[in-house]
Every structure is written in C-alpha cells, then in structure tokens.
Structure 1
Amino acid sequence: MFQTLLWHDAIAAFITLALALLWLRAIDAIAHRGWLEPKLSRKIVHIGTGPLFVLCWPLFSAAASARYFAALVPLSITAQFVAIGVGWLQDPAAVTAMTRAGNPREILRGPLYYGLVFVLCTICFWRTSPVGIVALMLMCGGDGLADIIGRRWGTRKLPFSPDKSWAGSAAMFGGSFAFAWGMLAWFGHLGLLALPLDETAGIVAAIALAATLVEALPFRDIDNLTLTGTAIVLGVWWL
C-alpha cells in the first residue's frame, strides 16, 4: 500500500509539473513574440501559476508524504529560475516574460521569493489547513491584480506610497478575497477542508484587508514575502 501511494503521488507530481511548465512556456512564448508587454506577462505568470498548482493538490493521496511530492513542483521550477538568474541556463523567453527590464537577475528577487513561498506553504500547511491556501491566493490573486489594475487605472496615488494607488489597493483586496475564499470553498466542496464558509468569509476579508495594507507600503520586490507572512500569522491565529 505504501509503495502504491508513492507511485500515486509521483504520478500526480509529474502531471502537476507538466501542467505548470505548459502554462509557463505558453506565456513565455507569447511574451517573447511581443504579444504581451513584459510587465503584463510577468503578472499573468504571477496570477495564474499558483492557483493552477493549488488546484492540482487534490490529485495527491492522503499520505503524509504527499506534500513533499507536491513541493517538488515549485522547487523544480524555482531551481530553474535560479539557474536562469545566475546565468547557468539561457532562456530569453522566460527572461522576457518574468522581468521588467530584461535583466535575468531580476528573477532572483520577486519570482524566486514567489517560488520559495510556495515550497514552504506546501510543506508547512498543505491542503489540510486553510492557512497556506489563503496566504498563497493572496499573493497570487491579490498582489498580481494590484499591479495590473494599478498601472492601468491607478491615477490617484496613496499619500504614504507614491508608487501605489487607490485602484491598485482596491484590486489587491478584491482579488485576495475572491481567490482565497473561492479556493477554500472549492476545497470544502471536495471534502478536504471542513469550514463554515459564511464565518470564514469574514475572516478571509479581514486577512485580505491586513495584507492590502502591507502591500500598500512603499517597499519594492518583497511583497511576496511581507503580505504572505502577514496572511500566515493572521491565518494561524484566526483560522
């Protein structure tokens, strides 16, 4: 039985990795051809990769070791990011899609933090806890949409953070809540989480609001760490 579960989780990890790489390579190719500007493609990768990965969690078994097989997926992709960032691997399409100015070393900041957060949340919380799911969805849906909406409609800037806008912060809150609560509802529907969704909605909204305030602070390239850290602390406390 143990060997059967190992094979089950190995196959699930392979399928998850294949889907994630297919998604990433598709966005890389689109950006490399100039069909998407780099800043937009970077955030599309940011928004879409994480939820795709988390949606694959139900493919894994109930074995305690399943989380480690799942964590191999973001770990493998993060290792690729590091190889590109330090110059060990040449991948112009990935550089175009995931950097602002075309400098491969940019991948060693935001994208690297993104991958490491996924590895840690997968191992520490996995699908049996809502904490990791909420933190990851805030980072993906909230932070990603904040940048896209803020750049397009963020004419009114925050008084304490001139690079952030009211529109971006609104998108951060709305995207965070929608992605996090929606994913919790789906996992609850699958029977993987037992949560009263009406009560949970208020808690998720409070965590999303706190993360929105943290994201609005005038710090650069560390949002993936600060807002997820905030979500984890509050999630452990409230969820």
Structure 2
Amino acid sequence: MDYQEKLLHIIIGLAFMLCWPMFSDGWRGSVLASSVIGINGVKVLLIGLQLLKDEATVKSMSRFGDHRELLKGPLYYAATITFACAVYWKNSPIAIAAICNLCAGDGVADIFGRRYGGRRHPYNTNKTVAGSISMAIAGFLASIGFMLYFSSFGYIIASWKMVWGFLVVTLASTLVESHPLSTDIDDNLTVPLASFLVGSLVL
C-alpha cells in the first residue's frame, strides 16, 4: 500500500465515527450505522473468496494484487469498525479506543515508520521505534478528541479517569502492534483485539 491508501485507512474509520451522531441513539441506529461498513465488509469477503470480481478493489486494497489479501487486513478493518459500531456504539469509550487505535494509531505508525525508519525494535526488526511512538501519540490524541466530541453530544461523560484509560489502551495496542505476532497475523486484527480487551478492563 502507498501513502494515499494509508491515508484512506486513517480517514475512513474516523470520518465514519464523526457521522455517528447523525444516527439515532438506540439499537436501530446502531444496526443501521454498522450496516454501512458491514455491507462493504461482505463485499470484501466475496471478492477475497473470488465469488465477486472487482480487480480495481483488489488492486487498491492489496500489496501484491492477490485477492486473498483482502481476507486479512481489509476484512479485519471492516469487521472491527462494524463490531465496534454494532456492539458498543457511541455511548461506549471502548468503541472510540478500538477505532482510533486501528485507524489513527496504526495508520500513522505505518506512514511514519516508513518515512523516518531509523531504529528498529530488537524483538521485531519489521517495526520501528518511530512508528511505535507515532502510533501511541496519534491513537491517544484521536481517542481524546473523540471523547470530547461525543461528550459534547452527551453520549459519554469525559473525565480524567477516561483519559488515563485511553492512555493505557493506546500503550497496550502499541505494544501489541510492535510484537512479531502482529506481523505474522495482521495488526488490523491484533490492534483492535487488544483495544477491546484492555478497554473492557480500564474504560
């Protein structure tokens, strides 16, 4: 993926979350909103399984032009946002943490890691220290921004406790993203899983 595609990785999820106040507060709004990304997720799944032909999508969402790549990162990305929206919705800081660390954190980490490179982690030479630092900063600041945004609508109550919770979740997600396991599996899966799990404990 090039920088333009990584920017889309950052923007799509965050822009979608900005639109959540347009939907009703109850489960109907949650289902309707989650279907927006969910339908695209189904399309990605069908293309990845070659049940649907769309070479343009394969080219834009894969590194090597292989349709099977869509069954990992792109599918995990869509599934995470759909799950966060359908299950946690806009009155839960866990949804904020998961989406912000996936979109802002992981997206910025890849861009800064490639652009500035430099020192690499001794336990995973595929990941850079610059990328991890930028991920932690971006994921945390995005989480705080959406905390204030949703708080202005009365969906959640902003607090210093929540701020510390976001910090813990972001640091945990950053550590997981830098782990070799994330390289072997896919950080579009491991990062949100870490956010959901740790978030359920501290948020």
Please classify the TM superposition score into its range, dividing by the shorter chain length: over 0.9
Tell me what 2:191 maps to: 227
Could you list the structure 1 runs, at least 4 aligned residues long, displaced by more than 3 angstroms after superposition: none
What does residue range 147-186 of structure 1 map to in structure 2 within 5 Å?
147-186=110-149
**SS at 1:163 equivalent:** strand
Q: Is the 8 A contact 2:24 2:30 kept in 1?
A: no
Tell me by how many angstroms 1:203 deviates. 2.0
TM-score, length basis structure 1: 0.79
The residue correspondences of 1:115-134 to structure 2 (distance < 5 A) are 115-134=78-97
Unaligned 5+ segments in structure 2 are none
Bigger Cα Rg: 1
Report whether the alignment pairs 1:108 with 2:71: yes
Is 1:47 matched with 2:10?
Answer: yes
Q: Report the 3-state secondary structure (helix = DSSP H, G, I; strand = E; otherwise coil) of the residue aligned with 1:125.
A: helix
Q: Could you list the runs of 5+ residues in structure 1 that have no partner in the other structure?
A: 1-37
The one-letter amino acid of 1:100's match is R
Bigger relative contact order (CA 8 A; separation at least 6): 2
1:78 aligns with 2:44: no
Contact 2:169 2:199 in 1 (8 A): yes
Q: Secondary structure at the match of 2:125?
A: strand
Count, aligned residues: 201
Query: RMSD of the alignment, in Å?
Result: 1.5
Q: Deviations over 1:190-221 (max 9, x none)?
A: 2221121x332222112111111111001324
Contact 1:67 1:123 in 2 (8 A): yes
Distance 1:63 1:200, change over 3 A: closer
The normalised TM-score by structure 2 is 0.92
Rounded to whole Å, the distance in 2 between the matches of 1:62 and 1:202 is 26
Spell out, residue by residue over 1:139-181, the C-alpha distance to the aligned partner (whole angstroms, 9 max, x if none). 1110111111111111211100010000110111011111111
Deviation at 1:62, TM superposition (A): 2.3
